[in-house]
């Protein structure tokens, strides 16, 4: 008996959709065992998660608030993943963008108008995330260092640096000893939709980013070169595509959008720089799953980001209602990622058994 794995040819949309729906369904079924082990009815647990995320006005508002940074980061990851650059460092890039924006808020904001301050914060936030994303890009193209290792390790450097700042030189004099910076001046804060924590500016930027990234990938020369590089790097080099330039462009965009997400969190939600885990609820890691669930489609990423924003809100619900730790959500996310990747394998390849 001979078992072989062969590349599929044409794959119908019906088959494609069916495989991914089955993948998510299997992940949900396996997730239910987490509740069964604690003697909790899985249907009751999932209904609580759904009600807490989408079944109430408050839950829906919180879901959208968490979907905004997820969508921004996801759009950047889609660009990198299209080129087969595995950026696992979006969490660190978000924190660096938030840190750059905080410096502007505290030193530039008190003396300038809201328009100039907010604009500068978004620009330097993008720049901070982009520069932090540039580091692993250069390490790969110049030294051949694996980007998964370098981007992952840079996350910890960014987290430690933020902790150093909020416990040390940037610790606010008005925060009663808590490791926060001083609150941002009014000119450096983002207006929210009344009754919510949703910053309408970052919401608009996130939705625009989905459209712009779609146009960039599908309609521009650089987008085409990124896709060719990802599908066949040897053919890309043979056809004259500059691998170094394309890699740098990918990571400048990917890191920059994560940096913008960081600006939205400190200027629109917290109004100061604080613990790394509080600024980002693992957005950089969750966005990886958001991107794969959307099949690296910038428009579908909107729906995927809202879905996972609801899962993050559901983590708070099961913590308060069922006594589960918030980290339980990480198990859900991990199972979904694993089975979506398995589904992706079966949409691209088929297993043949010959006697």
Which tokens hold the place of 197? 């924590």
Sequence-distant (≥ 6) Cβ neighbours of residue 320 within 8 angstroms: none
Q: What is the pLDDT of residue 169?
A: 94
Q: What is the pLDDT of residue 45?
A: 82
Q: What is the pLDDT of residue 49?
A: 82
What does DSSP assign to residue 172?
-
With beta carbons less than 8 A apart as the criterion, state whether 132 and 92 touch.
yes
Q: What is the pLDDT of residue 10?
A: 74
105-138 confidence digits (pLDDT tens): 999 999 999 999 999 999 999 999 999 999 999 9
Q: What is the pLDDT of residue 48?
A: 83
With beta carbons less than 8 A apart as the criterion, state whether 304 and 296 touch.
no
Q: Where are the domains of the chain?
A: 69-295
- CA pair distance 295, 249, nearest whole angstrom: 21
Q: What is the pLDDT of residue 8?
A: 78
Task: Decide: helix, strand or coil at residue 351.
Answer: strand
Q: What is the pLDDT of residue 267?
A: 95
What does DSSP assign to residue 54?
T
pLDDT along the chain (355 residues), means of 10: 78 80 88 84 84 86 95 97 94 97 94 94 97 96 93 95 94 88 94 92 96 96 92 81 92 97 95 92 91 92 94 81 77 84 82 80
User: What do you get for the CA distance between the two ends of the chain, in Å?
Assistant: 4
Percent residues over pLDDT 70 in the chain: 100
Q: Which residues of 234-255 are buried (b: 16+ CB within 10 A; e: fewer)?
A: eebeeeebeeeebbbbbbbbbb
Q: What is the pLDDT of residue 78?
A: 97
Q: What is the pLDDT of residue 191?
A: 93
Q: What is the pLDDT of residue 18?
A: 85
With beta carbons less than 8 A apart as the criterion, state whether 187 and 117 touch.
yes
């Amino acid at each position: 008996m001979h078992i072989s794995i062969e590349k599929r040819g044409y794959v119908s949309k019906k088959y494609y959709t069916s495989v991914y729906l089955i993948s998510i369904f299997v992940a949900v079924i396996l997730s239910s065992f987490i509740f069964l082990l604690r003697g909790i009815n899985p249907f009751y647990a999932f209904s609580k998660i759904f009600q807490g995320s989408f079944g109430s006005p408050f839950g829906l508002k919180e879901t959208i608030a968490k979907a905004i940074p997820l969508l921004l980061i996801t759009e950047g990851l889609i660009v990198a993943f299209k080129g087969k650059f595995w950026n696992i460092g979006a969490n660190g890039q978000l924190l660096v963008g938030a840190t750059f924006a905080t410096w502007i808020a505290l030193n530039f904001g008190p003396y300038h108008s809201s328009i100039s301050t907010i604009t500068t914060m978004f620009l330097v936030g993008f720049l901070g995330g982009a520069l932090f994303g540039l580091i692993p890009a250069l390490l790969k193209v110049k030294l051949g260092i694996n980007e998964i290792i370098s981007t992952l390790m840079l996350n910890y450097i960014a987290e430690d640096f933020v902790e150093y700042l909020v416990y040390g030189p940037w610790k606010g004099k008005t925060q009663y000893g808590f490791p926060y910076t001083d609150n941002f001046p009014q000119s450096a804060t983002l207006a929210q939709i009344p009754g919510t924590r949703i910053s309408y500016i970052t919401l608009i930027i996130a939705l625009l980013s989905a459209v712009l990234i779609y146009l960039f990938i599908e309609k521009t020369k650089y987008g085409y070169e990124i896709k060719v590089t990802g599908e066949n790097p040897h053919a890309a080099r043979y056809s004259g595509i500059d691998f170094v330039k394309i890699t740098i462009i990918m990571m400048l965009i990917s890191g920059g959008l994560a940096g913008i997400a960081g600006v939205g969190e400190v200027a629109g939600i917290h109004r100061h720089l604080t613990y790394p885990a509080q600024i980002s609820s693992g957005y950089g890691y969750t966005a990886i799953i958001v991107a794969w669930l959307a099949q690296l489609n910038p428009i579908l990423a909107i729906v995927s980001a809202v879905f996972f924003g609801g899962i993050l809100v559901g983590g708070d619900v099961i913590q308060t209602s069922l006594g589960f730790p918030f980290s339980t959500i990480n198990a859900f996310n991990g199972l979904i990622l694993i089975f979506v990747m398995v589904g992706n394998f079966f949409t691209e390849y088929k297993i043949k058994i010959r006697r």
